[in-house]
Amino acid sequence: MIKNTDIFLREHGIKPSYQRKRIYEYLNEHRIHPTANDIYTALVGEIPTLSKATVYNTMNLFARCGLVDVIPIEGHEARFDPHPEAPHAHFRCTCCQKVYDVPLSFPEEAIEEALSQCQIDTFNINFTGVCKECLARNEA
Amino acid sequence: MIKNTDIFLREHGIKPSYQRKRIYEYLNEHRIHPTANDIYTALVGEIPTLSKATVYNTMNLFARCGLVDVIPIEGHEARFDPHPEAPHAHFRCTCCQKVYDVPLSFPEEAIEEALSQCQIDTFNINFTGVCKECLARNEA
DNA sequence: GTCTCTGCAAATCGTTTGCAATGCT
DNA sequence: AGCATTGCAAACGATTTGCAGAGAC
């Protein structure tokens, strides 16, 4: 598995340092759309010298190389999403602050029609509200 | 027209100070989804004592009272949108940095299906790319 | 040995807040 | 007079950057 991360990073032109490997593995193992601080907090126990600067630099590198998306969702911190094959939306629960993936996409034609003649590079769809779990907990 | 702004603000429980009126009028006259800094720069000539703090405080007040939406779109600055009746998407041109309205919405049923049992409070849809004008200019 | 990566600390940028001065009723 | 609003300046929180030391090839 570690070997795979190595190869994967190299394939994307990223030199696989220990920090970069562990950050990438964390992203893949914890699909919670973590903030930079989440990543730092999770890994600093294991890599005591880790600095937030490295986390930020690494995430920017990953984003530049197309390994992760930065998802602009309400709230002051950026959240990162390992680049998924299938386009999907995000739902942020304003109660527990978790960000969920939502399998939802536009019909191509609708986009074509609304944005004809424009070059579309990225798109993202965000919902906010209260998730099932929080609704249930609050009703109890 | 000025009278109308007065009444409109009062109807939303906002005391219509000169600054607030001018900021609201600016938002309505310039539907470019301005940043706080855009608003400040545009109005400080006319209101020399205006401070950014007042712009931020006013935008937060407007947002709390439902007069404007804050649109979370890639980029480090918040952008404001006078609350529109019809839901619509946004398209940000990475070339000229303008943010356009896009008349596009999900079929209700698709949302229901994907997010059943959740309480949905807000949603927003953002595209980034290059707009018609910039494409034309760059090809020339 | 060179070139890259890390990580501290300081800088930066957007935004918020404390508070005294001002304005409105 | 009494309460709300303004606007300066300082505080803040997330992110970026300069740079010296550590590490990789």
- Supply the CATH number for residue B116's domain: 3.30.1490
Domain boundary among A63, A81, A99: A81
pLDDT digits (tens, 9 = 90+) for A48-85: 999 999 999 999 999 999 899 898 887 788 998 886 66
Domain that residue B135 falls in: 88-139
pLDDT value, residue B25 = 95
pLDDT digits (tens, 9 = 90+) for A115-124: 888 898 888 8
The reply to whether A64 and A117 lie within a common domain is no
The reply to whether A77 and A94 lie within a common domain is no
The reply to whether B103 and B57 lie within a common domain is no
CATH number, domain with residue B70: 1.10.10.10
Q: What is the SS3 string spanning chain B?
A: CHHHHHHHHHHCCCCCCHHHHHHHHHHHHCCCCCEHHHHHHHHCCCCCCCCHHHHHHHHHHHHHCCCEEEECCCCCCCEEEECCCCCCEEEEECCCCCEEEECCCCCHHHHHHHCCCCEEEEEEEEEEEECHHHHHHHHC
The reply to whether A14 and A76 lie within a common domain is yes
The reply to whether A74 and A99 lie within a common domain is no
pLDDT value, residue A140 = 67
> Which residues are CB-contacts of A50 (< 8 A; sequence separation ≥ 6)?
A19, A40, A43, A44
d(CA A9, CA A6) in angstroms, rounded, equals: 5
**pLDDT at position B112 over 90:** no
d(CA B18, CA B136) in angstroms, rounded, equals: 41
The reply to whether A52 and A23 lie within a common domain is yes
The reply to whether A57 and A114 lie within a common domain is no
Q: What is the rounded average pLDDT for all residues in chain A?
A: 88
Q: How far is the CA of A2 from the C1' of D21 (A)?
A: 28
Domain boundary among A43, A64, A81: A81
The reply to whether B18 and B68 lie within a common domain is yes
User: B118: which chain A residues are within 8 Å (Cβ-Cβ)?
Assistant: 91, 93, 127, 129-132, 135
Helices (H), A34-119: 36-43, 52-64, 108-114
User: B117: which chain A residues are within 8 Å (Cβ-Cβ)?
Assistant: 132, 135
Residue of A91, A92, A115 to mutate, interface with B, max B Cβ within 10 Å = A115
Count of structural domains within chain A: 2
pLDDT value, residue B84 = 66
**pLDDT at position B43 over 90:** yes
